Amino acid sequence: MTDFQPSAMLQAETKIGSGHQSKGGLLRSQYNTGVWWRHLLALLALAFALFPIVFIVSSAFNNAGTLSTSGLLPSAPGVRNFEKLFNDPIRPFWTWMRNSILICGLGSIFTVLLGAAAAYAFSRLRWQGRRVGLLAILLIQMFPAILGFAAIYLTFAKVGELFPGVGLNTLGGLILVYLGGAMGANIWLLKGYFDTVPKELDEAAKVDGASHARIFFTLTLRLVAPILATVGMLAFVGLWGEFLLASIFLTNVDSQTLAVGLWQTRNADQDRLFGQFVAGALIASVPVVLLYLALQRQLIGGLTQGSVK
Amino acid sequence: MVTESPETEQQLKFERGEPWWAKSLKWGLILLSITILFYAATVLAEAGHWLFVVITAFVAMGVLIVYATRRCVPFKYLYPGILLTLALQIWPIVYTVGMSFTNYGYGHLVSKEEAIQAIEASSVRQVEGSQRYGLAVAIPEGQDPATGEIVFLLTSPDGSINAGSLDGLEPVDPESVQTSERGRITEADGYTVLTGSQVNARSVELSEFAVPTESGGIKMIGLSEAFIGEATRVYDASSDTIQDKVTGQVFVVKDARFVPRDGVGSGLPQGWVENVGFDNYTRALTDPQLRTGFVNVIVWNFVFAFLSVITTFLLGMFLALLLNDPRLKGKAVYRSLLILPYALPGYITALVWGSMYNRDFGLINELFHLNINWLGDGTLAKIAILITNLWLGFPYMFIVCTGALQAIPSDVREAAAIDGASAFRTVRSIIMPLLLVAVGPLLIASFAFNFNNFGLIFLLTGGGPFEGGQSMIGSTDLLITMAYRLAIGGTTPNFGFAGAISVFIFIIVAVISYLGFRQTSALEDVN
């Protein structure tokens, strides 16, 4: 924002912001009226944004642990919900956590590798069919994998009979499914960034006798590291919240992710297990919320560019 | 963005040739993938899937051509991605479209030959002097005891052991099994022997199960015995009918099942997969039971996506305008806190809001001293969903609009002010159009996303409430949650019909995306 603030703009926002405020006299008194009304409305918005989060936190630390006793303030503060969560023999929270970390970790690493390799081919190399390839990827991206969920389910039920390692109820199989769209998912974001790296660097390295693989691994990947980090985090956050495919794939309690496990915890008893569920939900939210707060600009920027480009 | 630092200069000094470890890593990986593919091919060959053996061979050849030679440089970077895309993006689409033209689903899961075999085998009756076997019910190792393919481990009186499945009998090496003192098989290599309670849990299925033999089949009798008997129902290929030798009843083919010719009694449960042309598509639009529900789902699907985008955008834009004042202190704090709803994993939002709407214990009724059955009424459930999605989505629009607002040059506003434009007029005629150009494509993307927002609907309302005696179509169902219930959610899956709905969604999404891309000029950017 520039340091110049035209008064018309102020008025405009006033008018939009609070329709009932009179227009007359605003120009004269705008410095005196200050910005308190902006704070007021922003606080109202904050109340809307935060009350469910306050509810989550206070229910998690509510010893009574049922939905009926939960409110915006814990009726009996304590950590009993967490104790119940960690010691439930039929709902292995830490196993779910491990599964989620494995799936999201490996999934996002491979997503970055596949995406970066594809972006390199489309951005740095010149070959016949490049344009067609890019358009094909664009076209395929229009159809999200979840639309084929029934086909994926049936296919993997059969695959599992022959290759139990990647069938239903295996982390390997689910990671594979997630990687189906990995090459194309972030191709525009990645290619755009790859294009900003000067080509002269590649050419100089080539003159020095470096092979394409060497340029890719030792030069290009280092120069595009920021976008790789962004894509990796986007993939991680996306997979962390993925529910549909995980719920179809993982029916054994020991192979489930946090999303599926917590869903079943709440569904088992909406009222009685609510405290335990919400304690788990709080722990499951912390990593991604921290990630967002630390990297809001990159993540939102990435989301924006990814869909615009 | 990229500056030529001294460090970069240093990286440019390359030695000629590859280091030895890079070369060995490369060849190691090639060898590893060929080995894995070879293993996969042998497994596939053993199971008789020759088409897939050939495909595996082609994949392996591709690995060699792409990575073992110096040619095809671009493909060295694309090959794994292309394979994954073909197998897990293209194939499911093709499969879904193919499925939508069949009756694949409950009672229609196998081919006609297999269905006939199963009918004959399950009609097996014990005849005088029929042979008895010792029986242990098992499943192939690694499968789920509740759903795994049933295998009979049969001990003949002479001590030889056979494994009987729907594919017939197969001899088993007696060395590979362990038996109890009474001669019962307790363990077998490659199989998991089911416990008594696991067998009981599948008793209905087991009572129908029979291992096909030449003249009939082998059926279970009691927990640990089986007999070989003769089929009472026999298929006649020339007339394409099945005749019951005991009752004399004749069954004829109708709708991919055998039904009694005289129309008395029910048909046989074992049907087969058949091509049904456009039946699944026309059914959605003509079946009187489905038609209204289906049209309602489509309408609500569009309304939901549209209102979700509009409400989140309006609130997000309003907040962005509100906080876009240089004199305002604490903007960073506001922004960080306002982003929180968006940062929370989506499934948690949906589940927690679902609990907050609970009639008896929920926070919303408690806070406002109401007694509203939010999720029990169609209209209220829709409102509840839109409120939840507003909460979930406005932070994104807020951040996006903030960025777009900051990119609008200030002289545009100055010019408007000098020309004497009113405040409202400036926003409506200057700011809004510029903002819409910047975020327009995002609104379309957001529409396309919400159009298939399975997680929110499924976890918040499950598509319900189910009103007016409807059991298949709920008041808040989207096309995708409806397809899910048809395919996987219920006890009688109908994959064909679910596939047809997915194809509907494909078409709608394609049109939306096409409109979106026409807006963005992304297609012209490709160079």
Confidence category of residue A20, pLDDT binned at 50, 70, 90: very low
Query: What pLDDT score does B406 carry?
Result: 80
Lowest mean pLDDT among B94-108, B287-301, B411-425: B411-425
pLDDT tops 90 at residue B382: yes
- Residue-wise pLDDT for B234-247, tens only, equals 888 888 888 887 78
User: Which residues of chain B are within 8 Å of residue A147 when distances are taken between CB atoms?
Assistant: 92-93, 96, 452, 480, 502, 505-506, 509
Lowest mean pLDDT among A26-30, A290-294, B28-32: A26-30
Rounded to the nearest 5 degrees, what angle is found at the Cα of B409, between the Cα atoms of B406 and B415? 135
- Residue-wise pLDDT for B108-147, tens only, equals 888 888 888 888 877 777 777 777 888 888 888 877 777 7
Residue to mutate among A143, A161, A240, with most B CBs inside 10 A, is A143
Q: 3-state SS string over chain A? A: CCCCCCHHHHHHHHHHHCCCCCCCCHHHHHHHHCCHHHHHHHHHHHHHHHHHHHHHHHHHCECCCCCCCCCCCCCCECCHHHHHHHCCCCCCHHHHHHHHHHHHHHHHHHHHHHHHHHHHHHHCCCCCCHHHHHHHHHHHHCCCHHHHHHHHHHHHHHHHHHCHHHCCCCHHHHHHHHHCCHHHHCHHHHHHHHHHCCHHHHHHHHHCCCCHHHHHHHHHHHHCHHHHHHHHHHHHHHHHCCCHHHHHHCCCHHHCCHHHHHHHHHHHCCCCCHHHHHHHHHHHHHHHHHHHHHCHHHHHHHHHHHHHC
User: Which residues of chain B are within 8 Å of residue A66 when distances are taken between CB atoms?
Assistant: 361
- Residue-wise pLDDT for B384-403, tens only, equals 999 999 999 999 899 888 88
Among residues of chain B, what percentage have pLDDT more than 90? 25
- Residue-wise pLDDT for B508-527, tens only, equals 888 887 777 676 654 454 44
Average pLDDT over residues B498-503: 90
Residue B388 CB contacts under 8 Å (≥ 6 apart), including other chains: B349, B350, B353, B456, B460
Shortest distance between the Cα of B506 and any Cα of chain A, in A, equals 7
Lowest mean pLDDT among A152-156, B85-89, B189-193: B189-193
User: Which residues of chain A are within 8 Å of residue B495 when distances are taken between CB atoms?
Assistant: 150, 154
Average pLDDT over residues A69-86: 84
Model confidence, pTM: 0.80
Residue A196: other Cβ atoms inside 10 A? 12
pLDDT tops 70 at residue A10: no
Cα–Cα distance for residue pair B109/B102, rounded to 1 Å? 11
Tokens 């409400």 belong to residue = B311
pLDDT, chain B, mean: 84
**Chain A contact for B506 (CB, 8 A cutoff):** yes
Q: Report which of A161, A143, A178, A166 is spatially closest to residue A259, judged by C-alpha positions.
A: A178
Average pLDDT over residues A139-161: 85
B354: left (phi over 0), alpha (psi -120 to 50) or beta: alpha
Average pLDDT over residues A1-26: 37
Cα B228 off chain centre by: 41
Q: For the stretch B147-185, what's the b/e string if a residue is b when 16 or more beta carbons lie within 10 angstroms of its beta carbon?
A: ebebbbbbbeeeeebbbbbbeeeeebeeeebebeeeebb
Q: Report which of A114, A184, A175, A188 is spatially closest to residue A142, judged by C-alpha positions.
A: A184
pLDDT tops 60 at residue A11: no
Cα A140 off chain centre by: 21
Contact A180 B87 (CB under 8 A): yes
Contact B452 A144 (CB under 8 A): yes
- Residue-wise pLDDT for B289-305, tens only, equals 778 888 889 999 999 99
Confidence category of residue B17, pLDDT binned at 50, 70, 90: low
Domain ranges of chain A: 33-78, 93-308
Contact B400 A300 (CB under 8 A): yes
CA distances from B299 to B447, B476, B513 (A): 14, 11, 19
Q: In terms of CA atoms, which chain B residue is nearest residue A219?
A: B11
Cα–Cα distance for residue pair B136/B199, rounded to 1 Å? 10
Residue to mutate among A113, A243, A255, A262, with most B CBs inside 10 A, is A243
Kindly state the DSSP code that residue B194 receives in the 8-state scheme: P
CA distances from B392 to A201, B335, B346, B362 (A): 44, 15, 8, 19
Shortest distance between the Cα of B250 and any Cα of chain A, in A, equals 34
Cis peptide before B140 (omega within 30 of 0): no
Kindly state the DSSP code that residue B219 receives in the 8-state scheme: E
User: Which residues of chain A are within 8 Å of residue B394 when distances are taken between CB atoms?
Assistant: 49
Cα–Cα distance for residue pair A74/A62, rounded to 1 Å? 5
Name the CATH code of domain A93-308 (choices 1.20.1440.230, 1.10.3720.10, 1.10.287.3510, 2.60.40.1250). 1.10.3720.10
Confidence category of residue A298, pLDDT binned at 50, 70, 90: low
Contact A285 B345 (CB under 8 A): yes
Query: What pLDDT score does B314 carry?
Result: 94
The answer to whether B102 and B503 have CB atoms below 8 angstroms apart is no
Among residues of chain B, what percentage have pLDDT more than 70? 95
The answer to whether B103 and B276 have CB atoms below 8 angstroms apart is yes
Residue B470 three-state SS? coil
Residue A51 CB contacts under 8 Å (≥ 6 apart), including other chains: A72
Closest partner CB to B410 (pick from A2, A130, A303): A2
Average pLDDT over residues B341-359: 90
Residue B235 three-state SS? strand
pLDDT tops 60 at residue B451: yes
Query: What pLDDT score does A4 carry?
Result: 33
Query: What pLDDT score does B427 carry?
Result: 81
CATH topology for B21-99 is Methane Monooxygenase Hydroxylase; Chain G, domain 1 (1.20.58)
Q: Which residues partner with B163 through β-bridges?
A: B153, B170
Confidence category of residue B62, pLDDT binned at 50, 70, 90: very high
Phi, psi of B272 (to 5 degrees): -135, 170
pLDDT tops 60 at residue A126: yes
Q: For the stretch A223-233, what's the b/e string if a residue is b when 16 or more beta carbons lie within 10 angstroms of its beta carbon?
A: bbeebbebbbb
- Residue-wise pLDDT for B463-473, tens only, equals 878 887 777 78
Go through chain A and tell me how many residues it has.
309
pLDDT tops 70 at residue B460: yes
Average pLDDT over residues B368-396: 90
Is the ipTM value over 0.90, yes or no? no
Average pLDDT over residues A38-48: 90
R_g of chain A, CA atoms, integer Å: 25
Confidence category of residue A209, pLDDT binned at 50, 70, 90: confident
Confidence category of residue B60, pLDDT binned at 50, 70, 90: very high
Q: Are strands B216-221 and B210-212 parallel, antiparallel or unpaired?
A: antiparallel
Locate A144 and state its tokens: 């999200």
pLDDT tops 70 at residue B11: no
Q: Report which of B91, B65, B82, B27 is spatially closest to residue A118, judged by C-alpha positions.
A: B82
Average pLDDT over residues A161-183: 89
- Residue-wise pLDDT for A211-270, tens only, equals 888 889 988 998 898 889 888 988 898 899 999 999 989 988 889 999 999 999 988 888
Phi, psi of B242 (to 5 degrees): -120, 135
User: Which residues of chain A are within 8 Å of residue B348 when distances are taken between CB atoms?
Assistant: 56, 262, 281, 284-285
Q: Is B50 exposed, middle or buried (0-12, 13-18, 19+ CB in 10 A)?
A: exposed
The answer to whether A245 and A299 have CB atoms below 8 angstroms apart is no
Shortest distance between the Cα of A29 and any Cα of chain B, in A, equals 15
Domain boundaries B286-522, CATH class? mainly alpha
Query: What pLDDT score does A174 carry?
Result: 94
Query: What pLDDT score does B332 carry?
Result: 82
Among residues of chain A, what percentage have pLDDT more than 70? 84
Shortest distance between the Cα of A179 and any Cα of chain B, in A, equals 7
Q: In terms of CA atoms, which chain A residue is nearest residue B349?
A: A52
Q: Is A264 exposed, middle or buried (0-12, 13-18, 19+ CB in 10 A)?
A: middle
Shortest distance between the Cα of A202 and any Cα of chain B, in A, equals 9
pLDDT tops 60 at residue A120: yes
Domain ranges of chain B: 21-99, 123-233, 286-522
Contact B15 A209 (CB under 8 A): yes
Q: Which helix (H) or strand (E) holds B250?
A: strand B250-254
Cα–Cα distance for residue pair A276/A67, rounded to 1 Å? 10
Confidence category of residue A203, pLDDT binned at 50, 70, 90: confident
Residue A266: other Cβ atoms inside 10 A? 24
Among residues of chain A, what percentage have pLDDT more than 90? 31
pLDDT, chain A, mean: 81
R_g of chain B, CA atoms, integer Å: 32
Confidence category of residue B8, pLDDT binned at 50, 70, 90: very low
Confidence category of residue A29, pLDDT binned at 50, 70, 90: very low
Q: 3-state SS string over B102-155? A: ECCECCECECHHHHHHHHHHHCEECCCCCCEEEEEEEEECCCCCCCCCCEEEEE
Q: In terms of CA atoms, which chain A residue is nearest residue B417?
A: A8
